[in-house]
Structure 1
Amino acid sequence: MDRRLIVMAAGMFAIGTDSFVIAGILPQVAASLGVSIPVAGQMVTLYAISYALLSPTIAALASHWPRKRLLLAGLAVFVAGNMMTALATGIGWVLASRVIAGVGAAMYSPTATATAAALVAPERRARALAVVIAGLSSATALGAPLGTLIAGFGDWRATMWFVSAVGAVSGLAVWATLPAIPALPAATLGQRLAPLKDSRVALTLATTLFAYAGAFSVYTYVGVVFDRATGASPQVLAGLLLAWGLAATFGNLVAGKLTDRLGSRRIIHGALLLMLANFALTPWSSAQLWTAVPAVVIWGLCGWGLLVPQQHRLIGLAPAAAPLLIGLNSAALYVGVSTAGVIGAAGIALLDRHQVGFLAAGLVAAAVLMAALADMAINKAARRHAAAGAGVAA
């Protein structure tokens, strides 16, 4: 396996750990700083909003930077933000530091995935994306539990130092391993943003947003949705989440190979339809442990297996705008994650905690529709291009 991809995946592991570990240390943060858990929970919100808003913006504005320099700058800002979190003495500084960490993540993540695609031949592009994204998905299985364990032995600040250390080591590896990668060809900001006018791009991004809003509306409240299966045992719940994270990592890597072999369309629709059926059955599958385990495994496989073909599709639509489009896809994902908490809470209030899966299934159904409309737009553009080529040849 290309060690350059592994190095960039290590940085994604740090970013993913930072995204997912906060939920496990919120009670400690709240008690330490003398605030309520909902107030401390804004650490997650501000990080996600910073990441979502700035990923496409930085990808467009910093496109003239050499890729290696942008990767290193992103990790430097990310590490600085996490060190600031570890040292902060009040909730105001903690929240400000999460915005800074989000800026660093927004600089690094789209650049890493776009660079991975640029380092390999087109027929290996999806597998390269899968390797780098595996750093993000493996953070759910390894990074977040390890960070929570560190907080248990020490305190939440030790966890933030751990995330900082992983980011710093990744930065050193990027500096020592990656070759100099030139910036994108010169273009105006308007030219860089031109793909946003393309309905194929807009519909693909909408697919990501709806799919992950649905998936994380359940994940945010997984403890109460699956409480019958776990018997409200933290240990059993941790086991379920470990199964979810391992399935996510495996699904992500398999999706890369399958996308290179079969194309993105089949993998996107297959993953979405399985997710739709799985969430629709959650009110029943969450009742017993023997049905909950396969439910979370299918959820992890399909949820994270969707990300690679989505990015592969976007890069194929406009290769020259790859960093911007991947930044926008990351933004769509994080907007979905950010809104999932509100959506899931509404589902619990309007329906029942065990029926949030119905709401998730509805959102994934919207993603299926967006993907189908994207297919139609892509096919229409291909026919138009073929007709134009035939006209020129005549």
Structure 2
Amino acid sequence: MAHVTGGKPENLETGLVLRILALALGMFAIGTDSFVVAGILPSVARDLDVSVSTSARLITAYALAYAILSPVIATFAARVPRKLLLLTGLGVFIAGNIGTGLSQTYEVAMAFRVVAALGGAIYTPTAAGAVVGLAPTEKRATALSILFGGLSAATALGTPIGTWISGYTDWRGTMYFVAAVGLAGVIAVLVSLRAVPAPPPVRLRQRLSPLTDVRIGLTLALVLVAYCGLFILYTYISQVFAPATGRDTTTLAWLLFAFGAAATVGNLAGGRLTDRFGNHIVINTAGIVAVAVFATTPWTNRHLATAVVAMSIWGVCGWAMLVPIQDRLVGARPAAAQLSISLVSSANYIGVSLAPVVGGFLLDHGVSAGRLGLPAAGIVAVGLVIGEIGYVLIRRDQARPHAAPVALSTDGRSSDAPANR
């Protein structure tokens, strides 16, 4: 779920666009796999003979493995040829999803979710690095926005389609669908990509170095905590909105489509709104509106019309926050901006991995699915408070430029932080 800021979508050479779109197809498969399990949890739980809250831990296994493995693999596979690494990642991803679909026990399915996450962790940072190597410097942000548009498209199209397929086959059919999209990504990479230049290697310690800055740590904690709250409802969406959907899979798929389309709008709007109003206003406005939407779900989940409105607002707000958060990280420590932004994805996925566990705990301890939005709203609010503390520290340091902490760039040069709105 990484997103990028800036860039204009014009003047990219056609051949380059096609190569980036080939890479984006793989991102579409991986993004679909990240989100689609939430729409098929009841089917998984029935078939594997576990509770819904237990089956939701398949999401935890995937997201947590992805978050941990991405920076590790990006470090230790730095010298492997990029095209080989891309194809390996998609191959492992496909095997993980086929294995999940063939699993006859919950434990085996859990293991294959980790395998699928390993494939995604190999592919995603490699694809991002490949785009950086292929695109001219002045078009880099635009090229990255096309690549990560595959993730946005996954929420708008991949997840609803996968959920709809489960209604006509079962949850295993959804896993095979994801594997098929991954195979299409393999073909696209084979046909479209020649040799890709490798980025300079970065040590793992260097990748994690921004965490020593408390301002960056608090901003990443905002991502982790807020997106844990945001994805509690998404994980258990089939139960939360059961009164509105009547537990019909097709209706749920349309509800997920509304969410995904709104998320795409939020992702696109986040950058422009940040440029105009600053990251502080955009993050807090989107977060507060999301808190209000979550707090009202005990009433909006009763009818399909109100559920669509709630899901659409939630989608816009959730995805509108990521770009300004990255903008805040850039302003806090510009010389380490790329390293800081690379950690956003891990923080996001750790939050996503915690959501099923926290939501399952709440469901198992007396909170009904229909009222799950209330504690979720509280968790998002806590994330906003953490982010506000980080923002105050950033502003304090910027108000005293001579006392501002010095950041070291990847080449050892120092830089002070510029203004951060």
Q: TM-score range by the shorter chain?
A: 0.7 to 0.9
Deviations 1:258-310 (A, max 9, x none): 44565544432332122122223333433444433222111011112222333
Residue 412 of structure 2: aligned partner? none
Percent identity of paired positions between Structure 1 and Structure 2: 47
Cα deviation for residue 252 of structure 1 reads: 1.6
Instruction: State the match for 2:65 in structure 1.
Output: 50
Q: CA deviation at 1:99?
A: 1.1
TM-score by length of 2: 0.77
Tell me the distance in 2 between the aligned counterparts of 1:320 and 1:183.
20
List gaps (5 residues or longer) in structure 2: 1-8, 10-16, 407-415, 417-421
Give 3-state SS (helix, strand or coil) of 1:295's partner: helix
Are residue 36 (structure 1) and residue 50 (structure 2) matched?
yes
Displacement of 1:105: 1.0
Amino acid at match of 2:300: S
Change (3 A) 1:382 1:179: farther
Q: Give me the whole-angstrom Cα distance separating, in 1, the residues matched to 2:384 and 2:241.
A: 25
1:101-121, Cα deviation, whole Å (9 max, x unpaired): 111112222444465567465
Shift of 1:124: 7.1
Instruction: State whether structure 2 residue 99 is matched by structure 1 residue 60.
Output: no
Secondary structure of the corresponding residue to residue 36 of structure 1: coil
Q: Which residue identity does 2:392 align to in structure 1?
A: M
Could you say if the C-alpha distance between residues 79 and 309 of structure 1 is closer, same or farther in structure 2, counting changes exceeding 3 Å? farther
Contact 1:26 1:40 in 2 (8 A): yes
> In the alignment, residue 160 of structure 1 is paired with which amino acid?
M
Pick aligned residue for 1:366 from 363, 382, 386: 382
1:191 deviation in Å? 2.9
Which moved further from structure 2: 168-177 or 310-319?
310-319
2:284 equivalent to 1:248? no
Mark the CA change 1:23 to 1:227 in structure 2 (over 3 Å): closer, same or farther.
Answer: closer
CA distance in 2, matches of 1:383, 1:250: 34
| Partner in structure 2 of residue 13 of structure 1 | 28
Q: Following superposition of structure 1 onto structure 2, how do residues 1-394 of structure 1 map, counting pairs within 5 Å?
A: 1=9, 2-26=17-41, 35-38=49-52, 40-65=55-80, 68-88=83-103, 91-113=106-128, 119=135, 125=141, 129-178=144-193, 180-230=195-245, 234-259=249-274, 264-314=279-329, 317=333, 322=338, 325-348=340-363, 349-383=365-399, 385=401
Between the two proteins, the alignment pairs up a number of residues equal to 387
Report Cα offsets for 1:177-219 as digits up to 9, x if no partner. Answer: 4565544435544333321211222112111111111111122
Q: Which moved more, 1:259-268 or 1:208-217?
A: 259-268
- How far 1:163 moved relative to its partner? 1.7
Counterpart Cα distance in 1 of 2:201 and 2:108: 38
Could you say what secondary structure the match of 2:200 adopts?
Answer: coil
What is the alpha-carbon root mean square deviation over aligned residues? 3.5
The structure-2 alpha-carbon separation of the partners of 1:385 and 1:132, relative to structure 1 and needing over 3 Å to count, comes to farther
SS at match of 1:185: coil
Q: 1:363 to 1:64 in 2, by over 3 A?
A: farther
Structure 1 unpaired stretches of 5+: none
What CA distance in whole angstroms lies between the structure 2 residues aligned with 1:60 and 1:202?
Answer: 21
For 1:359, the aligned partner's letter is: P
CA–CA distance in structure 2, aligned partners of residues 257 and 76 of structure 1:
37
Alignment-mate amino acid for residue 339 of structure 1: L
Cα 1:180–1:338, aligned 2, differ >3 Å: closer, same or farther? Answer: same
**Aligned-partner Cα distance in 2 for 1:157–1:31:** 12
Amino acid at match of 2:35: F
1:306 is matched by which residue type in structure 2?
Answer: M
Contact map agreement 2:283 2:321 (CA 8 A) in 1 = yes
Residues in 1 aligned to 2:40 and 2:25: alpha-carbon distance in whole angstroms: 22
User: Over residues 16-68 of structure 1, what are the superposed CA-to-partner deviations in whole Å (9 max), with x where a residue is unaligned?
Assistant: 22122334445555666x64355655433322221122123223333455655
Name the amino acid aligned to 2:268.
L
Q: Do the aligned residues in 2 keep the contact of 1:229 with 1:292 (CA within 8 Å)?
A: yes
Instruction: Return the offset for 1:331.
Output: 2.4
Greater fraction of residues in helix: 1
2:409 counterpart residue number? none
